[in-house]
Structure 1
Amino acid sequence: MQDSKRAGLLAAPYVLWLLAAFAAPLGAVALLSVQESSEMFAPLELVPSGAQYAEILGDAFFRRLLGNTLLLGLAVAGASALLAYPLALWLTRLSPRAKPYGFAIILVPLLTNVVVRSLGIILLLAPQGVVSGIGQWLGLQPVNLLFGWFAVGVSLVQVFLPFMVLALYDVLEAQEKRLEEAAAGLGAGPAMRFWRVTFPLSLPGLRGGLTLVFLMASTAYVSATLVGGRKVLVTGMVVLREGMEILNYPLASALAMLMLATSVLVTLVIARLIGLATPWVAARVPRRWPGLPPAPRRALVQVAEALAPVVYPLLLGAGIFILMFPLLLVAVASVNDSPQATVAQFLGFTWKWYAAVLTNPRYLSDAWTSLQLALCCVAIALALALPAAFALVRGSFAGKEALGAFLMLPLALPGIAIGLGMLRLLQWFNQVPPFLGVLAVHVVLVTPFMLALLRASVAQLDRGLEEAAGGLGATPARVFRRVILPQLAPGMAVACVIGFLMSFGEVTVTAFLTTARLQTLPVRIYAEATFSLENTVNAISTLFILVTMALLVLVNRLMPLDRVWKR
């Protein structure tokens, strides 16, 4: 019992890291947001001022900016939920042999760099792109769908749809299959079975998916910058501009804190609404809502049952299309003999863009920086997450659940605020190398995912083998090396691969911290896709896709991809 209480100390290194690399930057942003002056070299005032917040809330531009960003996040979350249900249901119905391939359709886009996916959406919606070509084939006039809210929304749905699918899959896979069979036996059709059985039981997963997608979509700026062509302004873009270009850190910080407050408020509203719709979770008496009269209800059910066999495959096909087809377009564009990356028409086959990438010392240097950063990040994240996983699984101390929530907190807060805060800390403490600042933030972003994977691996360890080894005289170190580590090896390898892909492709926060002498490859292609449109960006992007696919094949050999996520 005493050992299980002391197990909580294993999480201490991770907690200390979060305090230094997560809480400190967030605290710096909070401090900057309450400064009276916006001057860059103005001394810090410890007396809080609401001047920056008053400027933002008193300006119609900023109010409209926050409102538009909020609506965009809600629209992306809603559209993602609509497309995610057919995908998640499809995954639950796949055979065990086919399920890893189905998960590959979800995980390859999820782990591919966001810049790569945005380039695919540009090729899809370009004036001479696939959508425009289909419209002309149907006799419609050519239309440019880029550089507007619709394009940005489609891009963000493509980026964040996998998170919604996986959140719904968890609860749909755990549902009792006999409930749907019983409903079918009572005469319910596919639409009514979904609405009366599947959907209500999936609401806890929907809450998690809506919350996660909204938080990420409302703070995203990379896709909005590329696909919106700087004609669509979201809050993250303005935070980046105010902090990086204008150097107005107090205003940028206040805007970031307002983003945080809005995200928390919407999260609470989502939780409240889902809570009202799931009274059985809290053992409450359900409310009786007014319903339709019998005749209109029967007509509505008949229409829904007639449409269900058509709507389900259409939404499923649309979900798979939006996830995978943009990546295919990027691969095709990488061998297109066109000088511009956004030209969707195929002008001829060539390998010259790959040659230009592989012989360019800037790309190779940036790739080496990204590789070093990702390897260091994974090593540190593993050292922090593995002891924390043992603490959360085997500890029996007060506050364990609160500790687990705190360790996962970086997933729920805007990365922009962390990046802005770390940037300011590096300017205050300029003796710290920029590489260490970027590394610290990458570890904060990657470790929660690795912790979730490792926590499941630790929970599945056979305690009997450890007790038997201890009874035969093995020391704790020998038990760990000879008994525990072999069992954990596949889970550790999977966690490291996922962490490596996430760190190697990270751009949203890294863009705040890179310098002229420290540039990562994802930030390089983001900058080139923003200011120049040479086709080398598609070649680099295709290499990103191929590396992601190769590493997922390796993961599947260690552990089927569907089991990876269930962990």
Structure 2
Amino acid sequence: MTALLAQSSDAPVRPPAARSAAVWWAVPPLAIVLLVAVYPLIRVCLESVTGVGTQSSWASVLASEAFRDALWRTVAIAAAATLGCLVLGTFLAVVLAFVPFPGSRLVGRLIDTVLALPSFLVTLAFTFLYGTAGAVNAAIAGVTGDRAPVLNFLYTPAGVIAAEITFFTPFVIRPLLASFSMLPRAQLNVAASLGASPLRVLRSVVLPEAWPALTAGGSLVLLLTLNEFGIVLFTGAKGVTTLPVLIYTRGIVTFDLPGAAVIATVQIALSLTLYGVYRLVFARLMAQRGRASTDVAVEPSQ
């Protein structure tokens, strides 16, 4: 026992100088983040509360029907697009991870390619495909002989949601594929050997392990769709005015900078609130998983 104490006392202790040097290395990236990201947001918030006529701007903006409609439309589109991304992304991730088929690796690479493209290109592709003069309507007109476009959803909220689902689904697929790759195949083999159906294995073994990745991907998609501007603007959907589009209209088109700052402050507060809720839910989820793993490890020893 004395020898162990002597060895522990002889263990090297990190000198304070090394710790202070490590702290100084964190100063440059922190300064860049504060200058590039935090400072503009603070300026926008300060402009909404300290500029000329800010009290009347807050009152007029919050009381306007256009702001309330844009807020509701933004939340509704973001929620619907996130739900669609979760459903489609989970299905595609399960197929790519557990259903081998020729060309699955190529499909995975194509999904990764979508992440490198700007969002408005998806809307442009949708216009060529599903627009009133797009390829699909032209093909239907060639079969039926009807010149009126059959598909006319692109310039509605449904078209915006479909474009956002197409673009943001890879943000759900990638975390799920990473989570599935870490899943022990022995668990799947044992469940299958006990007579469990593939659907039950998916529900009881695969999805419980993928909840953290699914939560992370869904939260990221919700934040991105909540602040999406390019898809809504390039769609040109009439009556689909979200908060980012309203900020653009107030600040760039009508030069109402105080009003735009007020709406931007609301957008920032909404995004930060959702991010805080995500961090809280994710922390509790990981804590529950940690307690469950501890219980499983303790039970055999007992």
Task: Indicate the TM-score class for this superposition, using the shorter chain for normalisation.
Answer: 0.7 to 0.9
- The gaps in structure 1 that reach 5 residues or longer are 39-48, 286-567
Alignment of 1:441-480 (within 5 A): none
* Residue aligning to 1:81: 86
Q: Is the 8 A contact 1:151 1:228 kept in 2?
A: no
1:289-308 equivalences under 5 Å are none
- Paired residue type of 2:41: L
Q: Distance in 1 between matches of 2:187 and 2:220?
A: 28
> What are the within-5 Å matches in structure 2 for residues 122-137 of structure 1?
122-133=127-138, 137=143
Aligned partner (choices 113, 119, 122) of residue 117 of structure 1: 122
- Structure 2 matches for 1:144-293, cutoff 5 A? 144-270=152-278, 280-281=288-289, 283=291
- Please tell me whether the aligned partners of residues 239 and 255 of structure 1 are also in contact (alpha carbons under 8 angstroms): yes
Shift of 1:37: 2.9
Moved more, 264-273 or 276-285: 276-285
> How many Å separate the matches in 1 of 2:151 and 2:28?
55
User: Secondary structure at 1:281's aligned position in 2?
Assistant: helix
Structure 2 contact 212–285 (Cα < 8 Å) conserved:
no
Deviation at 1:251, TM superposition (A): 1.6
Deviations 1:338-390 (A, max 9, x none): xxxxxxxxxxxxxxxxxxxxxxxxxxxxxxxxxxxxxxxxxxxxxxxxxxxxx
In structure 2, what is the equivalent of residue 431 of structure 1? none
Structure 1 residue 80: Cα displacement: 0.6
The 2-side partners of 1:131 and 1:198 are apart by 37
What SS does the aligned partner of 1:243 have?
helix
Alignment of 1:20-31 (within 5 A): 20-31=35-46
CA distance in 2, matches of 1:138, 1:270: 49
Counterpart CA distance in 1 for 2:258 and 2:183 is 49
| Higher helix residue share | 2
- Secondary structure at 2:40's aligned position in 1? helix
Letter in 2 for 1:82: V
**Letter aligned with residue 89 of structure 1:** V
Deviation at 1:7, TM superposition (A): 2.9
The aligned counterpart of 1:420 is none
**249 and 220 in structure 1: CA distance in 2 versus 1, 3 angstrom threshold:** same
Q: Which residue of 2 aligns with 1:55?
A: 60
2:73 aligns to what? Answer: 68
Aligned residue for 2:31? 16
**RMSD of equivalent CA atoms:** 3.0
CA pair 177-149 structure 1, distance change in 2 beyond 3 A: same
8 Å Cα contact 1:225-1:232 kept in structure 2: no
Give the drift of 1:218.
Answer: 1.0
> Take 1:101 and 1:181, find their aligned partners in 2: how far apart are those partners?
27
* Aligned-partner residue type, residue 250 of structure 2: E
C-alpha separation between the residues in 1 aligned to 2:77 and 2:233?
A: 14
Q: Deviations over 1:369-420 (max 9, x none)?
A: xxxxxxxxxxxxxxxxxxxxxxxxxxxxxxxxxxxxxxxxxxxxxxxxxxxx
* Residue aligning to 2:110: 105
Distance in 2 between the 1:130 and 1:188 partners?
Answer: 45
State the 1:168 CA deviation.
1.6
What pairs with 1:548-559 in structure 2 (closer than 5 Å)? Answer: none
Code of the residue aligned with 2:94 in structure 1: it is L
The verdict on how the C-alpha distance between 1:58 and 1:36 changes in structure 2, with shifts beyond 3 A counting, is farther
Q: Distance in 1 between matches of 2:46 and 2:175?
A: 35
Aligned twin of 1:560: none
Give aligned pairs, total: 274
Measured at CA, do residues 280 and 180 of structure 1 come closer, stay the same or move farther in structure 2, by a change above 3 Å?
Answer: farther
For residues 10 and 267 of structure 1, do their structure 2 counterparts lie closer, same or farther at Cα, with a shift above 3 Å needed? closer
In structure 2, runs of 5+ residues without a counterpart are 1-13, 294-302
Deviation track 1:186-231 (CA, whole Å, cap 9, x = no partner) reads: 2221222112221121111111111111111111111111113454
Q: State the alpha-carbon separation in 2 of the partners of residues 204 and 217 from structure 1.
A: 20
Residue 60 (structure 1) shift: 2.5
* Contact preservation (8 Å) 2:73, 2:240: no
Residue identity (%): 21
Q: 2:140 & 2:165 partners in 1: Cα distance?
A: 22
Do the aligned partners of 2:45 and 2:265 also contact (CA within 8 Å) in 1? Answer: yes
SS at match of 1:80: helix
The TM-score, its normalising length taken from structure 2, stands at: 0.79
8 Å contact kept, 1:77–1:213 = yes
Q: For 2:158 and 2:114, locate their aligned partners in 1 and report how far apart those are by CA, in whole Å.
A: 20
| Contact 1:152 1:228 (C-alpha < 8 Å) held by counterparts | no
TM-score by length of 1: 0.44
Letter in 2 for 1:161: T
